[in-house]
Amino acid sequence: MFELDDFSVSFGSGTALRYANLEIREGDRLGIVGESGSGKTMLALCLMGMAPDAATISGRLSIDGQDMTHANERLWQQMRARRVAMIFQEPMTALNPLRRIGDTVMEPLIVHDGLSRAQARMRVLALLEEVGIPDPPARMRMFPHELSGGQRQRVLIALALACNPALLIADEPTTALDANVALRITDLLVRLAHERGMALVFITHDLAAVARTTENIVVMYGGDMVERGPTAQVLANPAHPYTKGLLGARPDPTAPARDANGKRRRLPTLPGTVPPLSALPQGCRFSGRCAVELDYCATTRAPDHAVDANRAAACHLLGGVKP
Amino acid sequence: MGYFIFRRTVGFLLTLLVVSAVVFAVMNVLPGDPALTILGMDATDDALAALREQLGLNQPVLTRYFLWIWNALQGDFGISHSFRVPVSELIAERLPMTVSLAVAGMLFTLVIALTLGIGAAARHRKAGDWGVMFMSQIGIAVPAFWLSMLLVLLFAVKLRWLPPGGFAGWSDPVAAIRSLILPTIALGVVQSAVLARVTRSSALEVMRQDFVRTARASGLSRRRVLWRHVLPNALVPIVTIVGMQFAALVTGTIVIENVFYLPGLGRLIFQSIANRDLPTVQALVMLFAAIVVTANFVVDLLYVVIDPRLKART
């Protein structure tokens, strides 16, 4: 359905996305994890045809077999909402503050599906019901500032679902929400994807959320897809040093708060920080922070190596052969 | 909400009262004896005294002020010294001219400024944007009276497409519109240049906000996103400026009506000042001030209509 082949995005100052290969089939539930600046949001924006104007794109992106790599805005307007829809990180500011909820959700139905206001209203009532908003007729008349963050995110989900997209991209949909609200939104997304047979791309840095929601996972670092495979297997037995480090950085609630000397234990972290786009190493992006680095890692990009039948990781250590 | 409107209404009425006091005070400390002006230099002392008595000029200032307010509230602004007819009749006769011109100027300003401003924002840092910014810079720099003369020279004298001046009323709508075109442009160019800049910068600010991305992600066309989502959110600063501009347009008619020989209030106030026609000047200054204050009052109310969030806060 959606296919990326050696898809790269670069700006004057550096490369935001490098040789991305990805296939999303009908009903897939895919998690994309990585730190800020790993390129996961750029990937999502490219799937929506909403990469910034300054970006240079190479490789190939196709939707339903149609080449969309350099498609114009008009063609993308046909795809958005109907084939692919997206919800964003910040529900507090993602809704037009001057519009009633009902008018906002009705708009794509009227514009794309040519429904009358009355028909669109009926559809919106059903949609709001479906995403778990109580008393939809009253909520439709409200303005965004009258709703809580969780309610607004539900409205945004209803808006994204309005024209029955084949793929829903959720870009950190729960980061701005309370933990218990976040959990309910995550479960809602999985339920909706399942009921509608809709593909879901779930972008997050929350590994627990990914484990709950997705079947497959792609780990990103510095614009590279460093590891991929079934979510449960990757999380249980990571192959790439970055994935190992990321999993190692999860706080362990069972560990004692103080060590043997009575000192407060520090939370485990990955050493170093993600360098800026322009300062990333040419070879493996993780070199410089990697614990098991080889001498040519910084200069030579690591190809995908099969870990087992349906898993791969981009690390020289897994190749076994020096170039 | 109700309290907000109540507060603004009280403020509006108080402002008008202060304005009336200032207008009255200024007019009455001006040098020159109205009676002398009316009767001429060689009038007898007796005649002057009789006229002063008749005009009520011998009464204390405060009495005259409150009498003026009281009569004005009933639509009586006294008798014009130079035209010898009630001032209210003079105003009623010329008001349609000035209102037509001011409204036409406002419409011209809104259409030009919103189109160019939103268009420039959509083409941020591209040729179209630079073009609009350059044109608006010129528009701001050109004085209205000079532009009026150039317009008359080109379109009336050289090309003979439009009349050079005058206005025969709305009984012949085509002729009326033709006579309004040049004055409207002369009046509106500066204001639309200013407003186009305000619109552009306000729209650019809104376009950075998250909900614009949401609207694009719903597959809406750029045009629809701009006019239906960006513009309404950019309106608060625009409306603020429009309120001030309406005042500037109404007072701007004084110059424009004189250049184009239009029989409106602007020409009347000019003639009345030259004739030392105190009751007429006083009434007209008060009227212009009231229009300005009313425009600001309307803007205050519009804020609440534009932004539902203000209802909760006020």
Pairing of strands A311-313, A305-308: antiparallel
Q: What is the 3-state secondary structure (H, E, C) of chain A?
A: CEEEEEEEEEECCEEEEEEEEEEECCCCEEEEECCCCCCHHHHHHHHCCCCCCCCEEEEEEEECCEECCCCCHHHHHHHECCCEEEECCCCCCCCCCCCCHHHHHHHHHHHHHCCCHHHHHHHHHHHHHHCCCCCHHHHHCCCHHHCCHHHHHHHHHHHHHCCCCCEEEEECCCCCCCHHHHHHHHHHHHHHHHHHCCEEEEEECCHHHHHHHCCEEEEEECCEEEEEEEHHHHHHCCCCHHHHHHHHCCCCCCCCCECCCCCECCCCCCCCCCCCHHHCCCCCCCCCCCCCCCCCCCCCCCCCEEEECCEEECCHHHCCCCC
| CA separation for the pair A286, A315 (Å, rounded) | 10
Question: What residue type is assigned to position A28 of the chain?
Answer: D
Specify the pLDDT at position A284: 82
For A228, A230, B56, the CA distances from A310, given in Å and listed in that order, are 8, 7, 104
| CA separation for the pair B161, B152 (Å, rounded) | 10
CA angle, B287 then B289 then B290, to 5° = 65
- Percent helix, strand and coil across chain B, each rounded to 5? 80, 0, 20
Hey, which residues does A306 pair with through a beta bridge?
Answer: A312
Structure-model confidence comparison of residues B168 and B72, the more confident one = B72
Closest CA to B215 of A108, A175, A116: A108
Q: For the segment B229-277, what is each residue's pLDDT rounded down to a tens digit? A: 999 999 989 999 999 899 889 888 888 998 888 888 989 998 898 888 8
Q: Name the strands in the sheet holding A167-171, side by side, starting at the edge strand that comes first in the sequence.
A: A84-87, A167-171, A199-204, A29-33, A216-221, A224-230, A311-313, A305-308
Helix axes of B278-306 and B231-259: crossing angle, nearest 10 degrees: 170
B49 — phi, psi (to 5°)?
Answer: -60, -40
Q: Check if A142 contacts B (Cβ < 8 Å).
A: no
Contact (Cβ atoms closer than 8 angstroms) between residue B102 and residue B253: yes
- Is pLDDT above 50 for A148? yes
Specify the pLDDT at position A223: 82
Q: Check if B312 contacts A (Cβ < 8 Å).
A: yes
Q: In B, residues 201-260, which contact A (CB 8 Å cutoff)?
A: 209-211, 213-222, 224, 228-229, 232-233
Q: Binning pLDDT at 50, 70 and 90, where does residue B31 land?
A: low
Q: Choose the mutation target among B123, B125, B129, B211 for the interface with A, i.e. most A CBs under 10 Å.
A: B211
Q: For the segment B176-209, what is each residue's pLDDT rounded down to a tens digit? A: 899 899 999 999 999 999 999 999 999 999 999 9
A159 — phi, psi (to 5°)?
Answer: -60, -45
Q: In A, residues 160-199, which contact B (CB 8 Å cutoff)?
A: 160, 162-163
Specify the pLDDT at position A323: 42
Which residue of chain A has the CA closest to B124?
Answer: A53
The mean pLDDT value of chain B amounts to 87
Structure-model confidence comparison of residues B310 and A163, the more confident one = A163
Q: Choose the mutation target among A53, A84, A88, A98 for the interface with B, i.e. most B CBs under 10 Å.
A: A98
**B contacts of A96 (beta carbons < 8 Å):** 211, 214-215, 229, 232-233
End-to-end alpha carbon distance in chain A: 35
| Per-residue exposure over A300-316, b if at least 16 CB sit within 10 Å of its own CB, e if not | bebebbebeeebbbbbb
Number of helices (H) and strands (E) in chain B: give both, helices first: 14, 0
- Is pLDDT above 80 for B126? yes
The beta-carbon neighbor of B214 closest among A94, A98, A162 is A94
3-class DSSP assignment, residue B77: coil
Taking an 8 Å cut-off on Cβ atoms, the answer to whether A108 and B218 are in contact is yes
Q: Check if A113 contacts B (Cβ < 8 Å).
A: no
Return the CATH number of the domain spanning residue range B96-313. 1.10.3720.10
Provide the 10 A C-beta neighbour count for residue B117: 26
State ipTM: 0.84
| CA separation for the pair A287, A34 (Å, rounded) | 16
Encoding tokens for residue A293?
Answer: 């680095």
**What is the length of chain B?**
314
Return left, alpha or beta for A256; rule: phi > 0 is left, psi -120 to 50 is alpha, else beta: beta
Taking an 8 Å cut-off on Cβ atoms, the answer to whether A97 and B210 are in contact is no
The answer to which of A85-94, A120-129, A270-279, B217-226 has the lowest mean pLDDT is A270-279
| CA separation for the pair A84, A94 (Å, rounded) | 18
A20 — phi, psi (to 5°)?
Answer: -80, 130
- Is pLDDT above 90 for A181? no
- Is pLDDT above 80 for A249? no
Tell me whether residue B54 is exposed, middle or buried, using C-beta atoms within 10 angstroms of its C-beta: 0 to 12, 13 to 18, 19 or more: exposed
Q: For the segment A252-302, what is each residue's pLDDT rounded down to a tens digit? A: 667 777 777 777 766 767 777 777 777 777 778 887 777 777 777 777 777
CB proximity list for B159: less than 8 A, separation 6 or greater? none
- Global pTM reads 0.81
Closest CA to A248 of A226, A274, A273, A268: A268
Q: For the segment A20-64, what is each residue's pLDDT rounded down to a tens digit? A: 888 888 888 999 998 877 888 888 888 898 888 888 888 888 888
| CA separation for the pair B94, A65 (Å, rounded) | 70
Q: What is the 3-state secondary structure (H, E, C) of A141-163?
A: CCCHHHCCHHHHHHHHHHHHHCC
To the nearest 10°, the Cα dihedral for A192, A196, A197, A199? -50
The beta-carbon neighbor of A98 closest among B214, B215, B307 is B307
Provide the 10 A C-beta neighbour count for residue B314: 14
Distance of CA B240 to the CA centre of its chain: 14
